[in-house]
Structure formats: structure tokens, C-alpha cells
Amino acid sequence: MVKWRGRRQSDNVEDRRGMSRSAGMPAAGLLVPVLRFVIGRFGVGGIALLVVGYIGLQAIGVNPLALLAPAPQQAAQPPSAKSNEQFAFASTMLAETEDVWGRKFAAAGQRYAPPKMVVFTGYVQSACGQQSSAVGPFYCPGDKSVYLDTQFFDELATRFGAPGDFGSAYVIAHEVGHHIQTITGISAQVRQRQAAIGQVESNQLQVRMELQADCYAGIWAHDADRQARILEQGDIDEGLRAASAIGDDTLQRNAGRHVTPESFTHGTSAQRRRWFMKGYESGSVEACDTFVAAQL
């Protein structure tokens, strides 16, 4: 368990929970979550049920998509106690990354400009377009913000078999790692190179980006552990389990697909563990240069 209670929460967090529906999501946008729910509940056969239901409703003159649309003036549901707890945890973890990276930048004679974090439910509008929580937590360089649906923390436990709050902290630290890459100019360099090469090489470069963000998450764990003593025995294992659980090979295998390394953009589970540990053991940004590493 991460010892986070009573610690500082970041001011850079924007609470947009419960806002996606009242903002009037088009009905079609709800299809994906509905499909996910039906498949999760009834298996692929659930799709057949949906199709039969759809045709049936149309036959009696009801537009099924209209049923999916939110009521026009629907009041936002107040967040649950659990969601509030996860919100507080995420805000505290963001503050911990601010402290760690603030000190790192200060040591190099620079000022750290931290990212914003937007906590949302369902859908969110970002400088990277409208996104669904189905894509998982993400960092948008356009508005230098980490986007997070706290439901992902539940999914880490239920869907990816990686329970424990350090797994959630690791995911936040990884996204903040992308912020570090953005403000240090690494992301821009990578995008420039990607524009000049083919898809396969571009994906390989993307893997190095992702593994570096894992390594940066490790640096955060290293420093947070030494400076704030917020970690307990077993926390790092939880982080490593999360890193394994969301490796591309594991995700592809769980999705019932063949594992095709050339389409990997995050690295294998083993690679993600290795680079997280590199950052965690060294606490050094130099140790995280995945771009010159001969072996990932």
C-alpha cells in the first residue's frame, strides 16, 4: 500500500467527472461502451442479441440509437465515494511527481513546469481530440495534460489482474514521463524522425519512447521512495505487475490476437519491467536513454 493519506494533493487537477453525458455525447459515441458491456456480460454472442434487439425495435417504430442518447438536461451524477477516493489518490500521486521532478529539474538549474491532470468519466475533450476512457489513461502533448478515468484503476485489478494502488501510481508516473519527454524536446525529435521513416521503424521508435516513460516512472518511484518513504514492501511488485499487464504482447494475447511484435508500440511485458527497474534502481535520467540502448 502506498502511504499517501494526509499528503499534499496537486492543484493542477481538473475534475471533469460526470461531465461527458451532460455535454451531449452523440448517441453513436456510446456504442463502444455499450458493446464492451454486452460482450463482457454475454460474450460475443451478445452482439447477436443486440442485432436482434435493434431490428426488433426498428420494426415497432423505435429508433434504438435514440435510446442510447442522454436525456437533454440530465443532471450530472455526483461521483461515488470510491471515485472520490481514487480522485484524491491520483491528485496526491501527481503532487508526488511534481516534488520529484521539481527537485530533479532544480538540480539541473531549471524550473519544472508540471502537467495538468484531467480526471473524467466516459468521454473527454482534449487538444488531442475527443477521447473515450476505452483508450486508457493518456498524455496529450497539445495541452500538456494527463487524462485519466479513475475507472481504469478498477480495470487494472479486474481486467488486467494487477490490483494494488502502486500499479495505479505507476500508470500516472508513466504518463508524467511522457510530459517530461515533451518538455525536454525528446518527443518532438522522435516525431520528426518518425515522419521520415516507414511504419515498422516508426513503431520501433515508439516502443523506445514508451520504455523511456516506464524508466522515468521508475525514477519517480526511486526518488519518492527515498525522499518521502511512501512505498511499502510489495509496492514495486504491484507496479511491475501493472507494467507486465499492460505490455503489448499481453494485451494482444488477452484480446485473442496473434502476438505481432512489429505492431508493438509499448514494448513487451518483459521490456516494460526491465526499463521500470532500470529507472527504479538508478534514479538517473541518463540510465533511461532507450534510444541508444542496443538491447531493449
Q: Which residues bind Zn ion (CB under 5 A)?
A: 210, 213
Supply the minimum distance, in Å, between the C-beta of residue 227 and Zn ion. Answer: 25
Question: Judging by beta carbons within 10 Å of its beta carbon (0-12, 13-18, 19+), is residue 262 exposed, middle or buried?
Answer: exposed
Supply the minimum distance, in Å, between the C-beta of residue 169 and Zn ion. Answer: 15
Q: Which is nearer to Zn ion, 172 or 213 (CB)?
A: 213
Supply the minimum distance, in Å, between the C-beta of residue 178 and Zn ion. Answer: 6
Q: Which is nearer to Zn ion, 164 or 247 (CB)?
A: 247
Q: Which is nearer to Zn ion, 13 or 140 (CB)?
A: 140
Angstrom distance (rounded) from CA 198 to CA 196: 7
DSSP code, position 70: P
Supply the minimum distance, in Å, between the C-beta of residue 56 and Zn ion. Answer: 42
CB 114 within 8 Å of CB 12: yes
What SS3 class is residue 139? Answer: strand
Supply the minimum distance, in Å, between the C-beta of residue 198 and Zn ion. Answer: 22
Angstrom distance (rounded) from CA 123 to CA 121: 6
According to DSSP, the residues that pair with 129 across neighbouring strands are 126
Q: Which is nearer to Zn ion, 63 or 265 (CB)?
A: 265
Angstrom distance (rounded) from CA 20 to CA 256: 31
3-state secondary structure 228-274: HCCCCCCHHHHHHHHHHHCCHHHHHHHCCCCCCHHHCCCCCHHHHHH
Supply the minimum distance, in Å, between the C-beta of residue 3 and Zn ion. Answer: 26
Geometric angle at alpha carbon 8, from 95 and 117, rounded to 5°: 35
Q: Which is nearer to Zn ion, 38 or 217 (CB)?
A: 217
Q: Which is nearer to Zn ion, 96 or 175 (CB)?
A: 175
Angstrom distance (rounded) from CA 270 to CA 71: 46
